Structure 1
Amino acid sequence: MVSGDGDDGSEAVEYEPVGVKRLLVSMKDVSELMVDLAYSALLHNSDALATEVLELESRMDVLQMQARMNTLMAARTTTDSKQLAPVLGIIGAAEKISEAAGDIATVVLGDEELPGSIRAALPDAMEVLARATVGEDSPYVGNTLGEIDLETETGVRVIGLHDDQEWVLTPDQETRLEVGDVLLLRGGERNLSTVYETVTGTPYEQPEERDADITDLTRAVDTIVLMKNVSELSVDLAYASVLLDDSDLAEEVHALEVEVDSLQSRLEAWILQAASEVEQPVRLRGLLALANSTELISDAALEITEGILRDIETHPVITESVRESEVAVRRVAVEPKSVLAGGSVEDVLEANPGISVIAIRRSNDEWVFYPDGGDRVDAGDRLIARGTWNATEQLVSTARQ
């Protein structure tokens, strides 16, 4: 229960009997959304998205305190303590992810400007994330997402929404839109602009761009985008490894953590080189903070898998909490005789509605993050797919045929 403010201005939290499973579900959903929002705020120079991140960080502070209290109350025996220790680890890791995402948002909102125009150097294919408030005259008012069928019609997804009272972190077909709801939209820029205007009644405006003051900004942005992709994937895989008690997935998280270390070193080296081109090198501190925050997210994702890597039996509350989330992430090995071998990502998507391929790890351990439809799927590849439980289970079955 929240009971007012603490001495430092933060919300004071008292013990309230709440199911640990429900709290872990909320923490999982909040931490995943925060990482997505934080990087989108950075790459699109969006104060509005950064503000949403900080509001979610406050929500996470309350959730993690409630989760710690209820987890400690659940321990009755030494066996309980052993099995619940990884639960406390997951709670702590989710909190670290939240704090790191909040630090990224602070870079966007703070006085330390990022060099040049990050937005101008973004890849053309990058999906845009925008914050849109449902207007009184919007044709979507009173309709469910299923009735609107937004993603099928436009390719734009509602990845979260909230009103003045509560968040819906995993909106589904039954989620109904009302005047004043704040939607988080993701999709291609052209279609998103159209949907934004339909939702709000006002044209979509691009974030303000600044003139680039560093000649090699593209290389830095490419590294930032890679760090974003690796961080998001690490968090997804970490939670999936816990659900499936899958040490192979946990090892993938470890491999990604090594990748982030390499990317962090690459970005820091670029910053040192760029310092000679900037009149005020202190302006590069924002990128250093970004590199550090990304590394913290990756480390925290690895902490989530600690129980799996140490072969500690997974407590049922962990499995149940991750399964409560409507979105599943699965690792699918493409065997030589699999019907998937030799095709494309587009073939996989057409044969398995309801899933998206978010990464491919090639047989030579090279990663392809967020592949497009034309990318090949070869024997020996490992696909990382996200989707509904039924859809991902179907993909696993298909891969074995």
Structure 2
Amino acid sequence: MDPLEGEASVPIEYEPVNVKDLLVEMKDTAELLIDLSYSAVLHSSEDIATEVLRLEEQMNVLEMRARMGLMMATRSPDDAERLAPVLGIVAAADAISDAAGDIAKVVLEDIGLPEAMRAALPEAVETLVRGVVAADSPYADRTLEDIDLESETGVRVIALRRGDDWLLNPGPTTVIRPEDAALLRGPDVAIGDVFETLTGTDYEPPTTAASDVADLERAVDTIVHMKNLSELAVDLAYSAVLFDSEALAEEVRNLEVEVDALESRFEAWTLRAAADASDPVALRGLIHLGNSTEVISDAAVDISEGVLREIEVHPVVGMAVEESDEIITRVAVETGSGLDGTPIVDGLPETESTMSVIAIRRPEEGWLLVGDADAEIQGGDVLISKGTRTAAAAFEELAQA
């Protein structure tokens, strides 16, 4: 049974809205949904999976309000042409939300998942837990700045749910209240103590066991890589739209092609594993994960479709650009340039640049997610990097011979 079944749907009536703000909130919500859904699988946590469904319902409300706002903003054929891609962004965010909900249901509906999946995910997902703030918690009724949680422990509060209201990306002035449902992310060594201080209850880390079925290990490794590439595709897609970058939009399409190829391999490994698995039915959840992950990468392409079709970015999106100094860029490294042969340690190339490298697309080798391992930049690499506009311009010069 759906844990939210029986709850009344939120009535929605038109009211004037800032579509730009709605788009930003939908983006933040979509990214959080991806994190939560995979964390629910990792921890086999019904609590986190239920929060996914609550947040999915919130996304449905945001989508409807955004559609209403866009319809009211359409006054001419030119408006319709420029707003059509924005409507696509709204629909794609909802598709990501639905896919995350399907992933959560792997836990809630006990569809079945091999323990090897949970054994592999710690390498792909930071530890994320959900706890309800106790009335007598030392954190209750204090701001995040006052608690200074991240500096003291490395654990950060990534979202709070207060009744039916969500506080995404809480800042220093955000006050933690008793009965808040808090979502915490941080290192294994610290998360347990913070959880216990917050909730007043013991923290029980998940237990996992590796599989002795070789084909299942390959299938799990493949789905983890698909997840990471799909998350990257969503990040790039939003950046492509915000900065009207056809180069980034092309990389989104490249990522989607790679995820499709991985899904084909994943299906083959899973079918082979079924022959040797002691309980083939337990692989159903793995298949659900594969399908949902592929949907997320497809949605990323839909987000950037307007850029690929060279449709002028509507001012409602352009306004969001003006508020952001941090950008994501695509840089092709020329052989013999200042970046050729430069090591990357902890995401930062050993140069005077402050740009952090997120991923590398290397000819003949495919995608390398820098967060997974240190690397060395080579001529011919295409780098996906994040930083300020000023740093990005200097970084692009370093890539030229």
The TM-score, its normalising length taken from structure 1, stands at 0.86
1:324-335 aligned at under 5 Å gives the runs 329-332=328-331
Give SS of 2:130's match.
strand
| Equivalent residue, structure 2, for 1:4 | none
Note the C-alpha offset of 1:72. 0.9
CA distance in 2, matches of 1:354, 1:184: 30
For the pair 1:396 / 2:395, whether they are aligned, the reply is: no
| Equivalent residue, structure 1, for 2:360 | 360
CA distance in 1, matches of 2:181, 2:285: 28
For the pair 1:38 / 2:26, whether they are aligned, the reply is: no
CA distance in 1, matches of 2:115, 2:87: 41
| Equivalent residue, structure 2, for 1:306 | 305
CA distance in 1, matches of 2:333, 2:360: 10
Q: Is residue 96–residue 296 contact of structure 1 (8 Å, CA) maintained in 2?
A: yes
1:193-272 aligned at under 5 Å gives the runs 193-207=192-206, 209=208, 212=211, 214=213, 216-272=215-271
Q: Measured at CA, do residues 358 and 189 of structure 1 come closer, stay the same or move farther in structure 2, by a change above 3 Å?
A: farther
- Give CA deviations for 1:239-294 in whole Å, capped at 9, x if unaligned: 00000100010011001101111121122111211221245533322222211111
CA distance in 2, matches of 1:52, 1:289: 19
Note the C-alpha offset of 1:300. 0.8
For the pair 1:143 / 2:142, whether they are aligned, the reply is: yes
Q: Percent of pairs identical after alignment?
A: 52
Counterpart of 1:344, as a letter, is I
Q: Is residue 25–residue 325 contact of structure 1 (8 Å, CA) maintained in 2?
A: no
- Give CA deviations for 1:115-166 in whole Å, capped at 9, x if unaligned: 2343234455752111133333433334333343433333323222221142
CA distance in 1, matches of 2:118, 2:7: 36
Give SS of 2:388's match.
helix
Note the C-alpha offset of 1:71. 0.4
| Equivalent residue, structure 1, for 2:171 | 172
CA distance in 2, matches of 1:98, 1:154: 31
Give SS of 1:118's match.
helix
| Equivalent residue, structure 1, for 2:111 | 112
Q: Measured at CA, do residues 123 and 36 of structure 1 come closer, stay the same or move farther in structure 2, by a change above 3 Å?
A: closer
Give SS of 2:359's match.
strand
Give SS of 2:348's match.
helix
- Give CA deviations for 1:283-309 in whole Å, capped at 9, x if unaligned: 322222211111111111101111000
What's the RMSD between the two structures over aligned residues? 3.1
Counterpart of 2:366, as a letter, is E
Counterpart of 1:396, as a letter, is A
The TM-score, its normalising length taken from structure 2, stands at 0.86
Counterpart of 1:109, as a letter, is L
Flag structure 1 segments of 5+ consecutive residues without an equivalent: 1-6
Q: Measured at CA, do residues 20 and 196 of structure 1 come closer, stay the same or move farther in structure 2, by a change above 3 Å?
A: same
Moved over 6 A (4+): 349-355
Note the C-alpha offset of 1:70. 1.3
Q: Is residue 360–residue 367 contact of structure 2 (8 Å, CA) maintained in 1?
A: yes
Counterpart of 2:16, as a letter, is P
For the pair 1:375 / 2:371, whether they are aligned, the reply is: no
1:41-60 aligned at under 5 Å gives the runs 41-60=40-59
| Equivalent residue, structure 1, for 2:16 | 17
Q: Is residue 28–residue 322 contact of structure 1 (8 Å, CA) maintained in 2?
A: no
| Equivalent residue, structure 2, for 1:77 | 76
Q: Measured at CA, do residues 147 and 51 of structure 1 come closer, stay the same or move farther in structure 2, by a change above 3 Å?
A: same
Figure out how many residues of one structure are paired with residues of the other and give that number.
Answer: 391
CA distance in 1, matches of 2:213, 2:322: 46
Q: Measured at CA, do residues 123 and 52 of structure 1 come closer, stay the same or move farther in structure 2, by a change above 3 Å?
A: closer
Flag structure 2 segments of 5+ consecutive residues without an equivalent: 1-5
More displaced, 266-275 or 112-121? 112-121
Q: Measured at CA, do residues 211 and 371 of structure 1 come closer, stay the same or move farther in structure 2, by a change above 3 Å?
A: closer
Q: Measured at CA, do residues 58 and 76 of structure 1 come closer, stay the same or move farther in structure 2, by a change above 3 Å?
A: same
CA distance in 2, matches of 1:143, 1:355: 34
Counterpart of 1:319, as a letter, is G
- Give CA deviations for 1:325-348 in whole Å, capped at 9, x if unaligned: 797544455565447961323472
Give SS of 1:138's match.
coil
Q: Measured at CA, do residues 350 and 342 of structure 1 come closer, stay the same or move farther in structure 2, by a change above 3 Å?
A: closer
More displaced, 80-89 or 207-216? 207-216
CA distance in 2, matches of 1:22, 1:73: 16
